[in-house]
Each structure stands twice: as C-alpha cells, then as structure tokens.
Amino acid sequence: SQKIEQNSEALNIQEGKTATLTCNYTNYSPAYLQWYRQDPGRGPVFLLLIRENEKEKRKERLKVTFDTTLKQSLFHITASQPADSATYLCALPARKLIFGQGTELSVKP
Amino acid sequence: NAGVTQTPKFRILKIGQSMTLQCTQDMNHNYMYWYRQDPGMGLKLIYYSVGAGITDKGEVPNGYNVSRSTTEDFPLRLELAAPSQTSVYFCASSATSGQLNTEAFFGQGTRLTVV
C-alpha cells in the first residue's frame, strides 16, 4: 500500500539557520506533492505544491525539491524564525489525499 | 467567505452513544475529506468524497459512516462510540484542476472525547 514517511523526531534549530525536512514515499508514483503547515490546535494550511516535472519550487523563504527517482521531497526554510515553529506535513494527492505523520520544527531565538 | 465549517468544536460522548459531526463548505469544491488526528500523530484519512453521491473509504473507516447528498455538506456519523475514537477530527475540501487536486482547505476541527 502507499506509504509516506517523514522524520518523526522533532527538529530543533537556531534562528537564522536553514531547516530541512524530509518526505519519503513508497508504492506510489505521484504526479505532484504538497506541503502543509499545522499549528497546535488548528487545521493544516497549504504552503506549496510541486509537480513531478518540477525539480525545485520556491516561495519566499521556502524551497521544495522533488526527486521522483529517490521518491523523496525535501522542504527547506531559509533564515528560519521562531514564528516558523510548527509541524510540517507532506501530502500525496490523488483521489485520496494522504498525509505523512509530520515533522515538528522548533526554531530557537 | 466562510470556507470549511465544522460543528461542534468540542463534544464528550459516552461509550455506545452515537453522534454526527457536521461539515459544510461554501467554495463549491468537489472533493471532501474526513481525517482524525491522535495526539502527536499525523492525519489519518477516514472517508472521502469526489462529488455529491460518491463516497469511499480511506485508511481508517471502521466505526464511521458518511454521506454526501449535496456538494456543500459531508457529515461524519459515529454509530457506537468507543474510547478508541477519542481524537480530533478535521474536515477538508479541495477543488479539481484537470486531473489534479488543488490545495485542501481545512476546518477548525472537532475535539471528541469518548468516556
């Protein structure tokens, strides 16, 4: 069955550094992949979508890569800020919309 | 524009009781989803719908039922509540763009406790 895996361990980084989060998938060949942000007690909010023919996509301080050979997406936040602290989820959309378990990011001042 | 609205926000149920979680969206989206999220865990898909009259099982459908009689509404029914159904439930919707789903919009969640 389709499986999505994200780093289950929380990621703690210093303000100003680059955070890199990983999303791996198996038994699936998605045409595209999405990344969401979730704050405590709230529903996820869409951040970025990357298509299989796009190797990289940027939005302000966010950068996403998509390697269909490795079956992996990397999510980068450059010049991180404490306000970036949240849980970040990747999702594989098809008829179903399946999420990874999310990686909690904590940015310390 | 309200987006996705869930009711209630909080509910405590006794074991064996039943209830319906309501979800409505005003964006004319074809796709709607129900997820549950246990503490510290990711979102697990319970049921989804690709349009009015069409529903299908997700990853964890046991103990739940859904219906989709209109584009706007997608209620989730718990028939015999069990402690294992204690969770936060999220409803979401998305449009379609050709063969691709666009971004999903989520409701604010329903926190359900079964005692």
Residue pLDDT, tens place only, B69-113: 999 999 999 989 999 999 999 999 998 766 666 899 999 999 999
Torsion on CA atoms B91, B96, B102, B107, rounded to nearest 10 = -20
Triad B39, A59, B42: Cα angle to 5° = 15
Q: For A34, which of B42, B90, B103 is closest by C-beta distance?
A: B103
d(CA A66, CA B22): 36
Interface size, chain A vs chain B, as Cβ–Cβ contacts under 8 Å = 60
Residue B97 has a pLDDT of: 66
Does residue B2 carry a pLDDT above 90? Answer: no
> What's the whole-number average pLDDT of chain A?
92
A46 at B interface, C-beta within 8 A: yes
Does residue A6 carry a pLDDT above 80? Answer: yes
Range A64-80 average pLDDT: 95
Residue B77 has a pLDDT of: 98
Tokens of B75: 């209620």
Interface test with B, best of A36, A46, A51 (most B CBs within 10 A): A46
Give me the percent of chain B exceeding a pLDDT of 90.
86
Residue B101 has a pLDDT of: 67
CA distance A98 to chain B (A): 7
Does residue A22 carry a pLDDT above 80? Answer: yes
Structural contact between residues B107 and B91, judged by C-beta atoms closer than 8 angstroms: yes
Residue pLDDT, tens place only, B27-80: 999 999 999 999 888 999 999 999 999 999 999 999 999 999 999 999 999 989
Amino acid at B32: M
Q: Which residues of A touch B43 (CB under 8 A)?
A: 44, 89, 99
My answer on whether omega of the bond before B83 falls inside 30° of 0, hence cis, is: no
